[in-house]
Amino acid sequence: MRIGMIGCGVISRQYLDTFDALPDVQLVAVADLDPARAAAAAEGRAGVRALTVEELIADPEVDTVLNLTIPAAHADIDHAAIAAGKHVYSEKPFAVTTEEGRQVLAAAREAGRLVGSAPDTVLGTGTQTARAAIDEGLIGTPIAATATMVTVGHERWHPHPDFYYLPGGGPLLDMGPYYIHALVTLLGPVASVIGAGSRMRSERTIGSGPREGETIPVSTDTHVTGVLVHASGVLSTLVMSFDAIATSARPIEIHGTGGSLAVPDPNRFEGDVQLHRLGGEGWETLPVSAGYVEASRGIGLQDMAVRGAALRASGELGQHVLEVMNAVLESAGSGQRVDVVSTCDRPEAVALEDVRTATGAWQSQASA
């Protein structure tokens, strides 16, 4: 699968580090609004060309566009790529508004193109070992979950953090995809939500890089909490914050009738999964039993190349998570419970497998 990457910012470095380890994925072109950044990304990579965005989208050598632009540009780039006959794989969030996401999926269906969506961290051994424990009945019937992400804000380390504080950013749409993708993978789709949010500061100060000391405006909620009511009846409590200092809470905990499960950071591919059984004497670390081993950002593209239309990090999953997040924000604004219209299949589990041997024969059609 020949990849054209649009967007050569901070996150692109992690994808670039991964490409050489993916047996069915080949990076052939890069583009960025800043030509110097595209040239730097292509430098030293045999066969990789630095192009303009328009040239890359039109390039016949590109099968799939990897969309690493800012959230506000995700839908526009996806539409342009689909119209040019490309498959697309988008960084999170899938789009900014729920309607934008729906339109991207509709365009892809009409054109017969595949759509993938980050985060693919849920394909690693951390979340997948936790899923295997749930599927094996180690915690009995799931009842509830908690998901907690607390940080003081990305402006402390990111040299250009403006988009984190615009609509489409904030802790929910920036970090929420990791946690909600994991919750849907573990517990299934969400049927309705109740949310609340706040923004205690109207501006933030950049803490590093060439703009250090510059203030930027805040126009989205920076602390969001919600209750996700899964179709199964499980209740997940979500806390996403760019305002608080620290937390000792586990990133994700799943509680069932027979035990509780501690799930590692869903922003990472690996990590210990711990189980506290009913009547047990404490937390025990479970052996790694599922997921892509030694995975990193971009494994979703390899999964897409191997599985075609059955890809796990799918646009349908990304769109469902996007609607869940926007429903939480809508509920926070209205004070009312909001139903989630979309649904999605719980992605197929990942057997324990080395990334380097997870090969398949890529075909460029969506029916592959």
> What Rg do the C-alpha atoms of the chain give, in angstroms?
20
Residue 168's pLDDT is what?
80
Please give the Cα distance from 184 to 314 (Å, whole number): 13
List the domain boundaries for the chain. Answer: 121-293
Residue 360's pLDDT is what?
58
Please give the Cα distance from 16 to 37 (Å, whole number): 13
Please give the Cα distance from 144 to 151 (Å, whole number): 24
For each of the chain's 368 residues, which pLDDT tens digit applies? 999 999 999 899 999 999 988 999 999 999 999 999 999 999 999 999 999 999 999 999 999 999 999 999 999 999 999 999 999 999 999 999 999 999 999 999 999 999 999 999 999 999 999 999 999 999 999 999 999 999 999 999 999 999 899 988 899 999 999 999 999 999 999 999 999 999 999 999 999 999 999 999 999 999 999 999 999 999 999 999 999 999 999 999 999 999 999 999 999 999 999 999 999 999 999 999 999 999 999 999 999 999 999 999 999 999 999 999 999 999 999 999 999 999 999 999 999 987 766 665 444 433 33
- Closest by CA to 312, choosing from 121, 95, 130, 133, is 121
Q: Half-sphere exposure (CA, 13 Å, Cβ side) for 18?
A: 21
Residue 358's pLDDT is what?
62
The CATH number that domain 121-293 falls under is 3.30.360.10
